[in-house]
């Protein structure tokens, strides 16, 4: 930031230059002075950049001084607490600097896993508990409950509730703060919903050779593409469709399986689709629970060639949930039998039996299903795993003198902590974990609300 003018070494000739650099504004009768550089930080479209053309603004001077402080320092001053957040948002919208306000209050860079506290509850009307949560990078959140989707903006203000054609939304993905992709395992088609106006913008379908309808098992996205995992209504074929995120036209299709006979492995549709940007691969995972136990597979797809780069077949202690982390360069799963967290190094892709147990590895797998319903999600440098009503936070410890393993990679150390204060512990079983902005969103079984965990933000 260039906040001071007049620090020039030879003052006499620069006087005119300095005078032109200082901008004087009269807001509601109060005089403010600032520099042109500060004003341009508001962006070319903001009213701040045009303030020098009209030196009188008929607005509240106190709110203006708060926004001016925001421009100068990038943070809201503490006197902003005297106002409702809504006043600030309205005023920021008037001046066209709302992105700056979002940046200072809901910036993903402020996410600090160690300092998350349960701070807000977003109530949902009606009797349905949340079935899916979708977030945007700056913390807007869409919550599907029953056949409805309720949206909250980055300031956690309720924006809208729309009705969908689904009886229950099973997978939800936020494309933008107002656009979401939704699908259900009992309803045909992937719907792109405009959540502001409440209409279906597009309905995307996949049909197999028999031209029967298909249900959506999972949705994922990369910066360019939208991925959807379909299974045909008769459950005899499945596929992952790749759509262009902008035009929503089909780009390609990967992993099309038609099932003839009893090949259980190909009959499992992918239920979770994660884009691994560091490797340019799509991780698709799915599992099937049968009388002889849970089987599953995790496949890494190269979407350009349509080939599987790496496949992990899960026969013993299959994952109950799996997540991939770019920052940690690893895959994390919760074993359905053991309930323990496992890690596989992405840098060691292709290795046989790559899982390393991070929890208690000696635990006997005795057919109990301790990991059923556990959720695991990675965000930033941490992995969050829910067990019942508690959340474990896994962190990598950077060891100074780590030993090398046989395969040449250094041994990595992960440690866990339980999140929250004593009073926050327990509670009903966690059904969803999601992250956006500086916040974590948690939904629980039979609770008609979404918990918001956030690190304390300066100013607010």
Q: Where on the chain is the footprint of other proteins (CB under 8 A)?
A: 2-7, 9, 11, 15, 18, 22, 24, 31-35, 37-38, 65, 68-69, 72-73, 75, 77-79, 112, 114-117, 393, 395, 397-401, 413, 415, 417-422, 455, 458-459
68, containing H or E segment: helix 61-73
* Shortest Å, Cβ 417 to other proteins: 5
38 vs 289, beta carbon nearer other proteins: 38
Residue number with CB closer to other proteins (209 or 413): 413
Question: Which residues, 6+ apart, have CB-to-CB distance to 202 below 8 Å?
Answer: 191, 192, 248
Q: Are 63 and 91 in contact (CB under 8 A)?
A: yes
3 vs 350 by CB, closer to other proteins: 3
Residue 299, strand partner residues: 284, 311
- Cα–Cα distance between 346 and 358 in angstroms, integer? 16
Write down the least CB distance from residue 364 to other proteins, Å: 22
Sign of CA dihedral 345, 346, 348, 352: positive
Q: How far is the CB of 409 from other proteins (least distance, A)?
A: 18
Q: What tokens were used for 191?
A: 């719907």
CB 361 within 8 A of CB 340: yes
Give me the half-sphere count of Cα atoms (radius 13 Å) on the Cβ side of residue 379.
25
CB of residue 64 to other proteins, shortest distance in Å: 11
Residue placing its CB nearer to other proteins in the complex, 94 or 460: 460
DSSP classification of residue 404:
B
Q: Which is nearer to other proteins, 72 or 159 (CB)?
A: 72
Give me the half-sphere count of Cα atoms (radius 13 Å) on the Cβ side of residue 71. 27
Smallest gap, in angstroms, from Cβ of residue 235 to other proteins?
A: 43
The full DSSP string for 152-179 is: E-TT--EEEEEE-SSSS--EEEEEETTE
Q: Which is nearer to other proteins, 35 or 239 (CB)?
A: 35
CB atoms within 10 A of CB 34: 18
Residue 70 vs 204, nearer CB to other proteins: 70
- For the bound state, the minimum distance from the C-beta of residue 447 to other proteins, rounded and expressed in Å, comes to 21
CB 37 within 8 A of CB 1: yes
Nearest to residue 437, comparing CAs of 106, 143, 19, 174? 106
Residues 354 and 61: their CA atoms lie apart, in Å, by 62
For other proteins, give the closer residue by CB, 300 or 414: 414
Structure token digits, residue 56: 């009188």
Q: How far is the CB of 105 from other proteins (least distance, A)?
A: 15
Strand residues in 58-157 grouped as ranges (E): 117-123, 130-135, 141-145, 148-152
- Nearer of residues 109 and 398 to other proteins, judged by Cβ: 398
CB of 403 to other proteins, least distance (A): 12
- Which is nearest to 33 in space by CA: 4, 74, 9? 4
Compute the distance between CA of residue 441 and CA of residue 381 in angstroms, rounded to an integer.
Answer: 17
Instruction: State the nearest-atom distance from the C-beta of 63 to other proteins, in Å.
Output: 14
């Amino acid at each position: 930031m260039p906040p001071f003018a007049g620090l020039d070494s030879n003052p006499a000739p620069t006087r005119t230059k300095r005078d032109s650099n200082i901008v004087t504004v009269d807001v509601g009768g109060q005089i403010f002075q600032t520099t042109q550089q500060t004003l341009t930080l508001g962006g070319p479209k903001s009213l701040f950049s045009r303030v020098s053309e009209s030196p009188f603004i008929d607005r509240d001077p106190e709110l203006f001084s708060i926004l001016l402080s925001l421009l100068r320092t990038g943070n809201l001053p503490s006197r902003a607490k005297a106002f409702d957040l809504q006043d600030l948002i309205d005023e920021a919208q008037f001046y066209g600097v709302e992105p700056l306000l979002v940046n200072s209050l809901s910036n993903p860079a402020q996410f600090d896993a160690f300092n998350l506290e349960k701070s807000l509850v977003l109530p949902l009307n009606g009797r349905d508990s949340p079935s899916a949560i979708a977030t945007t990078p700056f913390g807007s959140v869409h919550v599907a409950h029953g056949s409805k989707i309720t949206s909250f903006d980055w300031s956690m203000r309720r924006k809208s509730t729309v009705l969908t054609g689904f009886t229950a939304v099973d997978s939800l993905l936020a494309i933008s703060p107002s656009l979401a992709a939704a699908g259900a395992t009992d309803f045909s088609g992937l719907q792109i919903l405009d959540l502001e106006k409440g209409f279906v913008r597009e309905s995307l379908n996949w049909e197999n050779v028999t031209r029967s309808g298909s249900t959506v098992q999972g949705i994922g996205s990369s910066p360019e593409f939208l991925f959807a995992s379909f299974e045909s209504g008769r459950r005899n074929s499945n596929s992952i469709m790749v759509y262009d995120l902008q035009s929503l036209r089909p780009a390609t299709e990967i992993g099309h399986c038609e099932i003839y006979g009893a090949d259980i492995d190909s009959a499992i549709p992918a239920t979770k689709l994660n884009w691994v940007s560091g490797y340019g691969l799509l991780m698709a995972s799915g599992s099937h629970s049968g009388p002889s136990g849970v089987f599953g597979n995790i496949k890494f797809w190269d979407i350009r060639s349509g080939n599987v780069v790496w496949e992990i077949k899960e026969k013993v202690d299959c994952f109950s949930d799996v997540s991939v982390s770019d920052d940690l360069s690893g895959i994390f799963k919760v074993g359905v039998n053991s309930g323990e967290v496992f890690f596989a190094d992405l840098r060691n892709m292709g290795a046989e039996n790559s899982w390393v147990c991070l929890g208690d590895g000696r635990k006997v797998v005795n057919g109990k299903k301790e990991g059923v319903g556990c959720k695991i999600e990675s965000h930033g440098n941490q992995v969050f795993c829910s067990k019942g009503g508690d959340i474990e936070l896994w962190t990598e410890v950077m060891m100074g003198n780590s030993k090398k393993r046989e395969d040449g990679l250094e041994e990595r150390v992960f440690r866990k902590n339980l999140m929250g204060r004593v009073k926050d512990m327990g509670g009903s079983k966690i059904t969803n974990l999601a992250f956006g902005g500086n916040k974590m969103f948690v939904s629980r079984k039979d609770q008609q609300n979404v918990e918001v965990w956030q690190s304390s933000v300066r100013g607010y």
